[in-house]
Each structure stands twice: as C-alpha cells, then as structure tokens.
Amino acid sequence: MSKKHVNVGLIGYQFMGKAHSNAYRQVGRFYPELPVEVRMHTICGRNQEGVKRAKEQFGWDHYETDWRKVVENPEIDVIDVSTPGNTHAEIAIAAAAAGKAVFCEKPIGNTLTEAHDMLKAVQQHTVPHAVFHNYRKAPAVGLAKQMIDAGELGTIYHWRATYLQDWIADPNFPLVWRLQKEVAGSGTHGDINAHIIDMARHLIGEFDEVCGLLHTFIKERPLAGAIDDKLGAKAGSQMGAVTVDDAAMFLARFKNGALGTFEASRFAVGRKNYHRWEINGSKGSVVFNLEKMNELEYYNEGAAEGRKGFAVIQATEGSHPWAGHFWPTGHIMGYEHTFINLLADAFTNLAEGRPISPNFVDGYENQRVLDAVERSHESRGWVKL
C-alpha cells in the first residue's frame, strides 16, 4: 500500500537550511515505518546561484528565489522557515493563511509580538506547526525526560545551564546578520539562550519570574561580505555597530518551586558548542553536555553507602528514545540525527492528526521568557511572567 506523500518547501539554504535538508533526505531512510513519504519539493533563497547550487547539493527537486511563490504553490504541503529572524513572522503567517503546515527555526519571532502573531495565525487557520528545538530529540535528553517524569529524581530543586561558544570572540570577526538587532532580534540571548530556556521548560516546567543581565563586549566590527554556511563571513574594511548582546545571564524561579541559573556567551574562549545542564533533585541528579551528546550522567541518592557517585549512561541502546533507529549499541549519534528525530516525530504526528512537539506554543512561551529577561535587564529587577 503506497504512502501519502508530503511535499516540503524549504525557505533558506545556509547553515540551518543545510541541516534541515539532510534531515528531510534521511528521515524516511532511518524511519521506514513513517506513515508518509517525505518529498523534497522546493528550496528557496534570494541568491539564485547559491540556491541553485544548494538544490543540486542537497537533493531538492526545484529551486525558487521568491518565497511567496513557494507558499502559493498548491503542490507544497509544508513550509519550513529557516531564514534570519526578521522574516520568520511574515513567511509563517502567509504560509498559515495558505493552509500549509508551518515548521520554523527558533526563536520563532524577533519579538514577543511577532511570536504571538505567528501562534495566532496557525491557530486561526488550524494548520500544524513545529519549532526546530532539535536538542530535545537527543536520546540522552529523552532518557532524562523519562526519568524525571517517572519521579526517579524526586522533587526538583535546581536547574543549572550554560551554553557557551567563542566564535565571535575575535574583535575582527565581521558584523554578520546574527550581530544586527534589526535582522536577528537579539544576539546570544535569542540564539543560544533560547535553547536552554526551551530545554528547561521541557524538563522542569514553566517559569514564574526571572532576573537578567545582557552585555555587549565589542561595540563595533568590520562589515561582513559574503557569508558561508558555518556562521562565518569575509570581513570588509568599513566598521559597523554591534546592536545585540554578546552574553546573557539570568536567574529564574519556576512555578514548581525549582530554582534556575542560565548563562549564554559567545565569548567563552575555548568553548565551541558547550551546551551543558544539570538537574538536582531530592532522589538524584542528571547532567547532559551536548559536546558529549550520547552520554547522560546520573547520580542515584538511593544507591548503597559506599557505592554512590555519578555514573555515565551511554544513551545508545535500542531502548533509549530514538536510538534504536540508527546504529548498534555504543555506535554514537551526532548533531544531524537530532533533526532527523524531530522530523520523524513531526511527520508521524502530522499524519495521525496529533499536535507536533515542540510547536508554536512552545515557541511563544520561550519568547515570553526571552522578553521577560530583556525587560529585567532594562529595569534591573525581577520580572514576573
């Protein structure tokens, strides 16, 4: 019996477009039981030469330079918005109005108003929606979620998270779009703090109040020339103003009484993609580090005296979430597999008429936290959500 096919239109072809393209190409291969056949219909970008090259490299059937034509194409079922943040709202709202399922990179909007309008659009037009918080879909994270939901950690007291990078620590690194507020909305805060905010909501629960600090270390940078798909660009001779934060920190109190600390920086020299969090509960603790993404550290307070200590669980067994679709036990998974897992869940839920997770509700709730931290920084005080 043949499967119903789902045609995808991807808007954007750089870093995230590359990651998403790989996932669309691979999802049916690693999840052959998927109830739909995913077809890579059209990839879209403003630069005709670049997007044509991406079409050939990533395996899309067609390419386009005008996103409106992709949204209006009656053959396309899903619109994936993988563009810079200043275009998310316009594209997503138009896609929802056209009756398309809307998948979007995070954060979904550059402002809380945009995020609200995007959520309202998908709800008003009753279309499926998803957000690419792909780190939720690492098997070690899935295992931590299972343990927390089963009560194995007991009452949760602490969430402690850092997301550290150093790719802009050089003052001569060019002024790419991620360093311009009018395009990106915010800097480190919206880019990588958003990930640990989403992870905290996923594992701990909703926020009650926050107190934040944002800071920009380098105020001016060389203007950027041609960009690449690895966050870089060629530096020009003229200078321009940096209008976003380089580092963001905040304290949080969750509605369930747990306390949280969050630190995100692109100036943590030596840290490349150090997304680490620790959860401490009354019965035990867990630790995750994206740079060792197949491992989950677990401390069991109930272990026998003299046998207590953090154990490292290799989350690569078939019983661990998503892991059974890939390699034999101990054969590790990588960054790209988290996108594949996210799409497998999304298309399964799409076919079965169930809400996709994470979705625009999560995107909006994450944006509420981002916005509250910014307001806290401005007021120099605690802000209730």
Domain definitions of the chain by residue range:
4-134, 139-292+294-333
- Taking the model in full, what pTM does it have? 0.96
Provide CATH code, domain 4-134. 3.40.50.720
Give the fold, CATH level 3, of 139-292+294-333.
Dihydrodipicolinate Reductase; domain 2 (3.30.360)
Which residue matches tokens 């272990």? 303
213 SS3 class: strand
Query: What is the rounded distance in angstroms from the CA atom of residue 315 to the CA atom of residue 200?
Result: 20
* Burial class, 157, CB count within 10 angstroms (exposed 0-12 / middle 13-18 / buried 19+): middle
pLDDT of 11 over the 90 cut: yes
Q: Do the domains 139-292+294-333 and 4-134 match in fold?
A: no
pLDDT tens, position by position, 231-255 = 777 788 899 999 999 999 999 999 9
pLDDT tens, position by position, 83-97 = 999 999 999 999 999
Torsion of CA 294, 145, 123, 355, to 10 degrees: 80
Q: Average pLDDT, whole number, for the chain?
A: 97
Q: Per-residue pLDDT averaged across 195-220, rounded? A: 98
pLDDT of 290 over the 70 cut: yes
